[in-house]
Amino acid sequence: MSSSAADTDRSPPAKKARTEPNGNTGTQCSTSSIPPSASLEVSQNGMANAENDIDEGLYSRQLYVLGHDAMRRMGASNVLISGMRGLGVEIAKNVVLAGVKSVTLHDTGDVTWEDLSSQFFLQEADIGKNRAEVTLPRLAELNTYVPVNTHTGGMDDEFLGKFQVVVLTNSSLTEQLRINEFCHSKGIRFVVADTKGLFGQIFCDFGENFSVADPNGEPPISNMVASVDKDEEAVVTCMDETRHNYESGDFVTFTEIKGMTQLNGCEPKEIKVLGPYTFSIGDTSGMSDYVRGGIVTQVKVPKIMKFKSMKESIEQPELMLTDFAKFDRPGQLHIAFQALHEYFKQNGSLPKPRNKSDADKFVAIAKKINDSSAAKVELDSDLMQQVAYSACGDICPMAAVIGGITAQEVMKACSGKFTPVNQWLYFDALECLPEKPDEKLTEETCKPRNCRYDSQIAIFGEQFQQQLGSLKYFLVGAGAIGCEMLKNWAMMGLACSEGGEITVTDMDTIEKSNLNRQFLFRPWDVQKTKASTAAAAVKRMNPNVKITHHEDRVGPETENVYNDNFFEGLSGVANALDNVDARMYMDRRCVYYRKSLLESGTLGTKANVQVVIPHLTESYSSSQDPPEKSIPICTLKNFPNAIEHTLQWARDQFEGLFSQPAENAIQYATDPKFMERTLKMPGTQPLEILDLLKKTLVDEKPASFQDCVKWARNLWQENYNNQIRQLLFNFPQDQTTSSGALFWSGPKRCPHPLTFDTANTTHLDYIVSGANLRAEMFGMPHNRDRNAIAKMATAVEVPKFEPRSGVTIATTDAEATARQNEGSLDDTDLESVQSALPSPEKLKSFGIRPVEFEKDDDTNFHMDFIVAASNLRAENYDIPAADRHKSKLIAGKIIPAIATTTSLVVGLVCLELIKLTQGHKNMEAYKNGFVNLALPFFAFSEPIAAPKNKYYDTEFSLWDRFEIQGDMTLEQFLKYFEEHYNLEITMLSQGVCMLYSFFMAPAKRKERLSMPMSEVVRKVSKKKIPPHVKALVLEICCNDKDGEDVEVPYVKYNLARP
């Protein structure tokens, strides 16, 4: 939702004509389901062709998860998805967004009421029509690069042979076994996915020789080498700056080793970890002696996986654990799903909701199957009964969870990227049922009503549906998570009855790169507001949903909108945000108003869910991730050793060259106090800022584009030649430290100066982008004629430079900071610079504007400059260069994202919302979760209880407070705490204002004691209390009756309004 994470490429993906229409709409098998020319067409329309033409504008965030190679392999895969109920369409949606070669939808059934609780592309008017045919046009809109076809006949071997991946979602066990036998024999990847009520199942068979190119998707780890033993079991020691983070069994190779050069570029060596900084690599006894230096880098070695056929695997199952608290559940559900197939085979339907007779029949079948199974378990009859009771149900959150996981498995099958499920995965959300479900739910309350929520009522009953419909929820953010949340809510019927309402806010507009994972948006929506477009989209999915959209940022500036009346009327809040500050702000608001908060986030294939429950759990802000490790200033300025360092340096250059100078100039021209503030800065900072201002407004102010080229050419010389020569003058290549070690060793890489050459593309890229950005800052038009710019650059007379003695270069951050803050300021120089500046009045009409960095517009020269500036500096220090794609990820601080993870995490969030709506008070029913689909790995735990504090005998947590009704005087307020709580207030504050303290001057204290509290706040803060504010938040420090400091809650002081 934040502008910093916005995607700003304006153009929607190109729409190109397909060689065939969007599929066969007949009722029989058609040979045109996958056109013979599809391969040619897909390569032409941008997914994967000989020119590696992947639309990076559309797929950019997903590319950072999967990489180009995996995307190309996906672009060669035809996928069949059978079954277009809620689960099938969820899988198809994610696979189409991902960008495979083609998707064929198969379904022989027609739309019924039961489909509408989870199939978001179906509407009431579609009842009676074929599910696949109705779904096709709405699904095809998601990605113009992926042809979508339908097939409504049988699935014989000839038809199945056209696909690389086959997915079955609504099929009998007999059909699953038949199709799997064929697919297993032909090397076709095969997936079964199913949901029955609150239970889900996935089975994967990718053949007997499936190669996983990258098991975990993590970037290869590199470390600097400190030493290598010459031994039969050689030990490698890494620099002790950070732990190496390798694991035994990893493979590594080496570069830049001095002495033992046989290791450089060696075949990957398997390692055994010995400690946080050491590992062994095998025999080096026949190699040269190690001298110094070197970089060790992890190598991803393909892993071969052998999958059993479904027939074999049913009897000898490999079961994945999705919840460590349910250790025996997978084995139980393995039997239960077989029993459901058998029950359907015998009865022609699933057990009716909450029907005791049907449940007893089902349990008997389950026992019989279990007794004859090679995978026999100690059957839990109560669990089997709950499976029977909810088997007819079909809810959107379960489809989202199982559909997200399954779609990722399809992508693994296509690409070989990440580790597949091996081989059975079972998941359940039994905790969503009300406490004592057998007392609260009956066959009558769960029977069908011929309405769109029948499949949800089958599980939770009619009363729960009414509760959902009357909820009032605030959704903060309408990006990827927000879109999925709204889809789930609309299908569930949240805020679809009288009294219910969803309020969604998002300040961003839709960008092209959003379309790959924010599935409520279409190419023609680019540049529309997210909140309004998402609201309209879910209205089409379920016309009954009551939704209000805003375009506001949540924060102190909008507390007049999201005020006491707004929050007090809410049932709860769900965050769909992309930045920590906004999350923490909403968390504080929820704690203050005592509202539940559903918090979630994704990072590539990783996702987390946290449920915050008033008076029960800790809040989001109670625990925080450690701050990101910053790069030392001296490393950036003079001693880079990794491409991340040169990219950060390039970003700093961008801000310092094209943004900060213009901002300073504008402040100087418009802010009367700019000069006063600047002169008060410590050390030499005033002179540095004013000197830069003088250069911008006087010395280097361009009169033409030629001047901009001259400026860029001289800057190139300064950065990549002069400064490097000065650095080597101060610290020659053979310089040693006081201990006798080489200065240029370890993390310090010895640089070399570059010589400018217009024939070098990177050199010219720097001049072209730098000159154009300089021109833009001064209001001049761009010039894209590279030949003309090259001639201008060649004509520039570059001043001769010779390194000088007496130039001090800091080698540590402490030195650099000390010099900046403690350097002596020459008043004469400062006065000279000040006098040379034009008066602010003369600059009122001066056309200068800061250039705000925007990573996603490939025409604006921003990334051109960053890439060139970084790679030139990398060349200075012999650091491998980074391409534009990697540079954009690092410099743009892009968060990798993929639709599958978002689908899964929102499904988990909505399961928690169901529990909140049920009113669960037992924390064990709730699940915080962490998931990594790449591994795959699932970890769930009950939320952490809110920590308790105590004063006297009163316990309190972050959810508690003193609540006082105004309007008292300050003296009355102090006495109130003495008389009611036996507490002496020693300090009282509101925000950043100190209202009272025991050490306050007597006269001031006497004056304030007689004033009403609201007047004290107005006087001290020098601000009026806004009309929408009903209460003040006051922080107090107190002593108990023994005079000891005691921690107490905050005070909510309710204002006495007329």
Helical residues (DSSP H) of 561-627, grouped into ranges: 564-568, 580-593
Angle at 477 between CA 474 and CA 480, to 5 degrees: 125
Q: Which of 95, 617, 22 is nearest to 404 (CA)?
A: 95
**Contact predicate 825/755, CB 8 Å:** no
Half-sphere exposure of 1057 (CA within 13 A, CB side): 10
- CB-based contacts of 266, cutoff 8 Å, min separation 6: 253, 254
How far apart CA 775 and CA 738 sit, in angstroms, is: 48
C-alpha dihedral sign at 383, 387, 390, 393: positive
- For the record, the structure tokens of 232 come out as 């039969």
What 3-state DSSP class applies to 252? strand
Alpha-carbon dihedral 70, 75, 77, 78, rounded to 10 degrees: 150
The residue with tokens 């915050």 is 612
Alpha-carbon dihedral 891, 897, 898, 901, rounded to 10 degrees: 150
* Helices and strands, counts by H and E, the chain: 36, 33
- For the record, the structure tokens of 24 come out as 């066969």
Choosing from 483, 634, 750, 1038, the catalytic residue is 634
How far apart CA 138 and CA 121 sit, in angstroms, is: 6
Three-state SS letters, 854-894: CCCCCCCCHHHHHHHHHHHHHHHCCCCCCCHHHHHHHHCCC
Element (H, E) at 575: strand 572-575
How far apart CA 996 and CA 1018 sit, in angstroms, is: 13
- Residue 910 is a catalytic residue: no
Do the strands 472-476 and 572-575 form a parallel or antiparallel pair, or are they unpaired?
Answer: parallel
How far apart CA 354 and CA 460 sit, in angstroms, is: 10
Amino acid at position 816, single letter = A
Alpha-carbon dihedral 598, 603, 604, 607, rounded to 10 degrees: -40
How far apart CA 502 and CA 490 sit, in angstroms, is: 10
Do the strands 501-505 and 319-320 form a parallel or antiparallel pair, or are they unpaired?
Answer: unpaired
Element (H, E) at 44: helix 38-44
What are the C-alpha distances in Å from 881 to residues 63, 223, 644, 750? 19, 17, 10, 16
How far apart CA 395 and CA 402 sit, in angstroms, is: 11
Q: Which of 307, 311, 268, 264 is nearest to 288 (CA)?
A: 264
The reply to whether omega before 967 is within 30° of 0 (cis) is yes
Half-sphere exposure of 841 (CA within 13 A, CB side): 0
Q: Which of 478, 523, 526, 521 is nearest to 502 (CA)?
A: 478
What distance lies between CA 698 and its chain's CA centroid? 45
How far apart CA 146 and CA 67 sit, in angstroms, is: 19
Q: Facing residues of 224 across strands? A: 295
The residue with tokens 């056309």 is 847
Q: Is 52 left (phi over 0), alpha (psi -120 to 50) or beta?
A: left
* Residues, the chain: 1058
Secondary-structure percent of the chain, ordered helix, strand, coil, rounded to 5: 40, 15, 40
Could you count the other beta carbons within 10 Å of the beta carbon of residue 2? 15
Phi/psi of residue 1032, each to 5°? -105, 140
* Residues known to be catalytic: 634
